[in-house]
Amino acid sequence: MSGRPWSGTPSDSWCAASDVSDFIPLSVPNISGNEWEYVKECLDGGWVSSVGEYVTRFEEMSASATGSRHAVATTSGTAALHLALRLAGVGVDEEVILPSLTFIASANAVRYQGAWPTFVDSDEHFQIDPEAVRRFLVEDCHSGAVNRHTGRSVTAIMPVHVLGHPCDIDEIRDIGREFGLRVIEDAAEALGCRYKDRPVGSGGLACLSFNGNKILTTGGGGMLLTDDEETAVRGRYLSTQAKDDAVQYVHGEVGFNYRLSNVQAAIGCAQLERLAGFVERKRSIASLYAEELGRLPGVTTMGEAEWATSTFWLYTVLIDPSTGHTPNSLIDALARERIQARPVWQPMHLSPAHRQSHSAPCERTEEVHARAVSLPCSTSLTHAEQTRVVDVVSRLLRHG
């Protein structure tokens, strides 16, 4: 085996560069702990499916890492979000407030429930802006939180902690209480973050992802986090086809096949053992970027809100047009130097997939999209590699 493992799909153009030994990828998994040993144990014992002790162990470890009482392992973060929306009782033709600046899975999960995302703008830390949520509810809704543009009831908020930085979740929960809205947290990118010294994912209904590009990976997987035992029990039930009697094939309602396999959970256990080290590594990569790139004119480095301890999961800078670069021109120039960088997601309110959804004005999101570039930040990134990234970015931004 040569080169590095890849977190993208085969259609991602940069995969072709994987043979080039000095290629620096954006963010790749770090599989160098007990993964082989635990997976071998599963395979040797024949416990490969979703019944097995690693699933339970991975749930217990995830609950403890996030300060939650219960955790339910799922096949993906998207599945966990869908399940959470179902458990929260979000129904057909209701609306869920979502930041426009997120990965599409957040919005898709809302549509799977037959509900509609309604998009709002983000704050200066890339996170859902509580002020924008409040403004939407006060100015764009009738009393009882009915969206006056669509006539639909707004029943939930799905804050997303993006890029490894927590959103202002206390403010969002306060708004939820004030307007009678449920809160379902998309913490897919935020495992290991802290909000006012509490782990992100605690104290509510939250979802994690263990996709290949996240801080930890199981190849694919997710986790639902809750303090409520009934929610956890029901989550497990719904994720295993709502099985009442396994022998007689009796099912109480329409469930899902959303349960994580034991093999994947085994990988997850080995990965989770290393979370603290991964966070430390991400934070030290971030501080070197902040120091070196912060000196360049026209670059805004990634900071932390006063409530936040970020993992800097995906290190993202804003490039001012005065540098002579757009995100795409910088990304192309970096690619020629065998360094992989990426823009942020197309904002959801501009996504063809969600063109039928309502959106509040999202100017800051559009500005972020027009300026943001994510830089290499794998936990395995060496100091020499990061120095090369810094040197190349500095040269490109100084000389256009």
Ligand X SMILES: *Cc1c(COP(=O)(O)O)cnc(C)c1O
CB 126 within 8 A of CB 107: no
Which of 78, 155, 262, 264 is the binder for ligand X (CB under 6 A)?
78
Length of the chain in residues, anyone? 400
Q: Distance of CA 47 to CAs 53, 62, 72, 217, 262, Å?
A: 8, 20, 18, 20, 7
User: Residue 314 burial by CB count (10 A; 0-12/13-18/19+): exposed, middle or buried?
Assistant: buried
CB 127 within 8 A of CB 166: yes
Q: Report the nearest approach of ligand X to the CB of residue 175 (Å).
A: 20
Which of 27, 66, 68, 209 is the binder for ligand X (CB under 6 A)?
209
Q: Give yes or no for residue 235 binding ligand X (CB under 6 A).
A: no
Nearer to ligand X, 113 or 209 (CB): 209
Give how many residues touch ligand X by CB under 6 A.
Answer: 14
Give CA–CA dist 323/162, Å, rounded.
26
Q: Give yes or no for residue 76 binding ligand X (CB under 6 A).
A: yes
Window contacting ligand X (CB under 6 A); options: 182-190, 196-204, 364-372, 389-397: 182-190
CB 90 within 8 A of CB 152: no
The CA-based angle 36-377-121, given to 5 degrees, is 115
Q: Give yes or no for residue 186 binding ligand X (CB under 6 A).
A: yes
Window contacting ligand X (CB under 6 A); options: 90-98, 100-108, 119-127, 266-274: 100-108
| DSSP-based three-state secondary structure for 343 | coil
Window contacting ligand X (CB under 6 A); options: 112-120, 183-191, 244-252, 327-335: 183-191
The CA-based angle 32-57-30, given to 5 degrees, is 15
Q: Report the nearest approach of ligand X to the CB of residue 396 (Å).
A: 27
Angle between helices 169-179 and 130-139 (to 10 degrees): 20
Q: Give yes or no for residue 357 binding ligand X (CB under 6 A).
A: no
Q: Give yes or no for residue 340 binding ligand X (CB under 6 A).
A: no
Q: Give yes or no for residue 185 binding ligand X (CB under 6 A).
A: no
Q: Give yes or no for residue 105 binding ligand X (CB under 6 A).
A: yes
Nearer to ligand X, 66 or 102 (CB): 102
Q: Footprint of ligand X on residues 111-130 (CB under 6 A)?
A: none
Q: Give yes or no for residue 223 binding ligand X (CB under 6 A).
A: no
Residues that bind ligand X (CB under 6 A): 76-78, 102-103, 105-106, 160, 186, 188-189, 209, 211, 222
